[in-house]
């Protein structure tokens, strides 16, 4: 039997890249998934792909930084599938600059998407997690729920040019450790994965400047072939990770086998640390 059969999962930023692979991985093991993306088309495609796997999914479109998004995201899960078992805070992007060239807008964009958005989602989830646990306790059953927050090696060790991103991802680790202590009484495991160099559109090799549009901002992404080759030499396994491998690490923290693991941050980087 699938280990996640019937589990209800929220995966933010799951229309593309790592988030898409996380949603598909959980669904392939039976989870019912709420898919999120800024844009409807990629989110709806992931929903269709999940249904093709034999599981079920719904889309919750919009930016995780919208003030009411957390409540809307959580309610979508509860109203669509009747529960909430797994929360993966994956949505995010990089907007790099050294401190002297960074403005407040850039700083707060990184804090908002990587810290404030997960905080709002988790805050919105708390009443449901408490209620479900109380009901199960009265019934004499024991069920563990899972939160997996996405951090980065930049948040653990810092990285030149990523002051705001690194600070936000370090905050994710603190959030993880604190909620582990607050939510242990609800039988909720709260862990984090800190990704190293994973192949996505944000880290793709580019010869010219490439950008993504995030709510009206054109943000430079990608790295040069020279930097890519240098980074690859620093990875003990000799190559960047794939989005599927990143998703596999998140999946490990969603399994029953992780029921006595909480408050931990695992580096997923092929041995690479900045």
List residues with catalytic annotation. 165
The helix, strand and coil proportions of the chain, stated in percent and rounded to the nearest 5, come to: 45, 20, 35
Long-range Cβ contacts of 101-105 (<8 Å, 24+ apart): 102/163, 102/164
Tell me which residue has tokens 């589990």.
7
d(CA 12, CA 73): 9
User: Alpha helix (H) ranges present in the chain?
Assistant: 17-28, 40-52, 69-81, 104-111, 117-139, 153-157, 163-183, 225-234, 243-252
For the chain, state the CA radius of gyration. Answer: 18
Residue in 39, 120, 114 with CA at minimum distance from that of residue 72: 120
SS3 62: coil
């Amino acid at each position: 039997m699938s280990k996640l059969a019937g589990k209800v999962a929220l995966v933010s930023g799951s229309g593309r890249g790592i988030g898409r692979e996380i949603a598909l991985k959980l669904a392939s093991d039976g989870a019912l998934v709420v898919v999120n993306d800024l844009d409807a088309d990629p989110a709806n495609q992931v929903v269709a792909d999940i249904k093709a796997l034999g599981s079920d999914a719904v889309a919750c479109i919009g930016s995780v930084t919208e003030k009411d998004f957390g409540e809307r995201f959580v309610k979508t899960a509860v109203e669509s599938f009747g529960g909430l078992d797994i929360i993966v805070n994956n949505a995010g992007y990089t907007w790099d600059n050294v401190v002297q060239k960074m403005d407040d807008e850039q700083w707060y964009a990184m804090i908002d998407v990587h810290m404030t958005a997960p905080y709002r989602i988790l805050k919105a989830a708390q009443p449901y997690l408490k209620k479900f646990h109380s009901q199960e306790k009265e019934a004499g059953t024991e069920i563990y729920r899972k939160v997996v927050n996405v951090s980065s090696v930049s948040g653990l060790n810092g990285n030149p040019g990523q002051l705001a991103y690194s600070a936000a991802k370090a905050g994710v680790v603190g959030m993880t450790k604190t909620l582990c202590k607050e939510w242990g009484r609800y039988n909720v495991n709260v862990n984090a994965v800190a990704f190293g160099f994973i192949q996505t559109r944000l880290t793709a090799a580019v010869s010219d400047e490439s950008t993504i549009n995030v709510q009206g901002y054109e943000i430079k992404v990608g790295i040069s072939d020279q930097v890519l080759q240098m980074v690859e030499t620093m990875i003990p396994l000799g190559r960047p990770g794939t989005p599927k491998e990143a998703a596999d690490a998140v999946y490990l923290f969603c399994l029953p086998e992780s029921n006595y693991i909480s408050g931990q941050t695992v580096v997923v980087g092929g041995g690479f640390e900045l």
